[in-house]
Structure 1
């Protein structure tokens, strides 16, 4: 069964990540970490607009929801699994066909850009976050390392794709375990994985495994279908705003591991309501044509926006006076976000039509009995 509201949610999440990245291009005068300041403290109008935009465009929350959603969707699609070796092999092949072609396109385009017109520069007004990217030489070895996910230096969000692929490798045994144990035992496994994410699975220079608990939590969702179906619509309406605010705000006020747990629980509740509860109208906007369209191209949009953003932001930094950018950072970020999102949507339509969709169709044909 396909849950169309989740498609709409995917579109929103992709835009949230685009908004987050677009508002991190310029350094903010007098604020080393504006998003970490008390949201209820007013300094000036422009800085408050910047802060609120970054609160709404909480890319970290969007990624956490993506991870939990991936676990849920995979759990739903594997309900009839017998977990035979051939079935698991076909799952791995389908996942690779679903995820890799767009990534391959992105790496090739980024490499061509770096081999031809790119020159790494620093800019007085640019934020450290912007300078962190692309400060390496694109040798053939580096190209291969990025193609194989050993490095994920390109595309801004490609590290999350490596996390999803690793989680997909662990998914069959995790789901096999989940099906064999009770709901209480599943909850205990989730808690243990979440605790392990703080230290045990958080290795130096490699923390991908610490997100496994998010996928496991998503895989638990079908167990709670009846509970979500029975939640009164009034309860959803009353809790929607405060829970959303807590989820958006926690990343900027708590330790990163604590934040991940908070965001995952919020994602669990949000996805459960969207998938299983029809007693409220507050989330019906996800069914609108605009959100469904964004949902259709969300994977391509999610991957290609950063590259479009980086190239355009670099053009702005090189051609617009720094003092003008510094005094109008909110308007600059807003302009960058709107224009790069429009450009990325156009490119995503092309990528979706000629790369992503054909690969999806091919993946559906892969089925070993």
Structure 2
């Protein structure tokens, strides 16, 4: 039996994703222009927790696994494939590439488009992990429904323990890292028990939110060890719970600003495209002997260069394919009703 539940869209969480996507630019600009171990993992961990939460809500709305997987395919792959093809075309026309020159043979381009490899566009490692995590999210959601949140806590503990093991963390190869896999399960846990957590926090919402932001920023500036990644996931989970289940919270009004909402809408394409913008911005914005000024200027230029590209991708690739996914869901629903009526 398919279970259907009505859950409202949460625009502040989309806006939070936009802020995280923009912050990745600053992290990557710092890594490009200075000798640092800061990698930008913290915003990605936030993405993972948010994905676990949002996808659990999607399953709660309608727990049809086939429909869920189809929607994930229409959501993730079209924009990612477009960026891989764009980089392939830029390399063929101008010799342009990101990082170390990858293999642009047709077979490797296909592997990148299918998110099996990510050497053409490095940031797509996180999309590989997200696709790998999809069955984990599904199992976590249905496991929590059957056995309660205690199962999710146990799963998080097991995955955290595995994150110390190098072969596990780097199982997918390249830049990919499975150490934050528990963040997806934590997102599902926030969906299941986040309201109780927020009720427990009580009137200390503002202090808790501020503390979570400080902790996330602090951890983002540290070497990304397994305990640091866990702290990033926990602080991200706190923020997501407070935003989702404390809508009257004044401290989050920044997320209601139209400009922030705009970056939330284009955040996926922005993340996929930002290394192209960063490569161009670094050539313009680097000032010899002024590393901090170079980072700030490069970050601003990258955002300005990437945002229009991301909007085009969102408007003409993401939106149409998301609409196709919704029509597919509607068609399945109608077909199911017809069969049930018979």
Q: TM range, normalised to the smaller chain? A: 0.7 to 0.9
Query: How far does residue 142 in structure 1 lie from its aligned partner after superposition?
Result: 2.4
CA contact (8 A) 1:92 1:169 kept: no
The yes-or-no answer on 1:74 pairing with 2:43 is no
Equivalent residues, number: 321
The yes-or-no answer on 1:353 pairing with 2:315 is yes
CA contact (8 A) 2:180 2:230 kept: no
The yes-or-no answer on 1:285 pairing with 2:279 is no
Highest relative contact order (Cα 8 Å, sep 6+), 1 or 2? Answer: 1
Alignment match, 1:186: 152
CA contact (8 A) 1:17 1:62 kept: yes
**TM-score between the two structures when normalised by the length of structure 2:** 0.85
Alignment match, 1:166: 132
Query: How far does residue 303 in structure 1 lie from its aligned partner after superposition?
Result: 1.0
Alignment match, 2:275: 306
CA contact (8 A) 2:280 2:302 kept: no
Separation in 1 of the partners of 2:37 and 2:168? Answer: 30
Separation in 2 of the partners of 1:184 and 1:335? Answer: 47
Give the alignment partner of residue 33 of structure 1, picking from 33, 36, 44: 36
Separation in 1 of the partners of 2:171 and 2:181? Answer: 17
User: Residues 366, 171 of structure 1: CA spacing in aligned structure 2 closer, same or farther, 3 A cutoff?
Assistant: farther
Separation in 2 of the partners of 1:34 and 1:211? Answer: 17
CA contact (8 A) 2:59 2:68 kept: no
User: Residues 225, 332 of structure 1: CA spacing in aligned structure 2 closer, same or farther, 3 A cutoff?
Assistant: closer
Comparing 186-195 with 270-279, greater Cα deviation is found at 186-195
After TM superposition, the structure 1 = structure 2 runs for residues 1-12 of structure 1, keeping only pairs within 5 Å, are 1-12=8-19
**TM-score between the two structures when normalised by the length of structure 1:** 0.80
The yes-or-no answer on 1:223 pairing with 2:223 is no
What secondary structure does 1:136 align onto? coil
Alignment match, 2:265: 296
CA contact (8 A) 1:6 1:274 kept: yes
Give the alignment partner of residue 303 of structure 2, picking from 341, 356, 365: 341
Query: How far does residue 208 in structure 1 lie from its aligned partner after superposition?
Result: 4.7
Give the alignment partner of residue 69 of structure 2, picking from 92, 102, 108: 92
Separation in 2 of the partners of 1:364 and 1:191? Answer: 36
Structure 1 stretches lacking a partner, 5+ long: 36-57, 121-129
Structure 2 stretches lacking a partner, 5+ long: 1-7, 337-342
Give the alignment partner of residue 168 of structure 2, picking from 201, 219, 233: 201
What secondary structure does 2:328 align onto? coil
User: Residues 140, 232 of structure 1: CA spacing in aligned structure 2 closer, same or farther, 3 A cutoff?
Assistant: closer
CA contact (8 A) 1:232 1:279 kept: no
Q: 1:219-241: per-residue Cα shift (whole Å, max 9, x none)?
A: 11122243244256641222333
Separation in 2 of the partners of 1:88 and 1:294? Answer: 30
After TM superposition, the structure 1 = structure 2 runs for residues 108-187 of structure 1, keeping only pairs within 5 Å, are 108-118=85-95, 133-187=99-153
User: Residues 134, 284 of structure 1: CA spacing in aligned structure 2 closer, same or farther, 3 A cutoff?
Assistant: same
Alignment match, 1:50: none
Alignment match, 1:20: 27
CA contact (8 A) 2:216 2:231 kept: yes
User: Residues 257, 229 of structure 1: CA spacing in aligned structure 2 closer, same or farther, 3 A cutoff?
Assistant: closer
Separation in 2 of the partners of 1:173 and 1:61? Answer: 25
User: Residues 274, 107 of structure 1: CA spacing in aligned structure 2 closer, same or farther, 3 A cutoff?
Assistant: same
Separation in 1 of the partners of 2:181 and 2:36? Answer: 29
Quick check: which one's helix share is greater? 2
Q: 1:226-259: per-residue Cα shift (whole Å, max 9, x none)?
A: 3244256641222333332222222444552111
Alignment match, 1:51: none
Separation in 2 of the partners of 1:163 and 1:205? Answer: 8
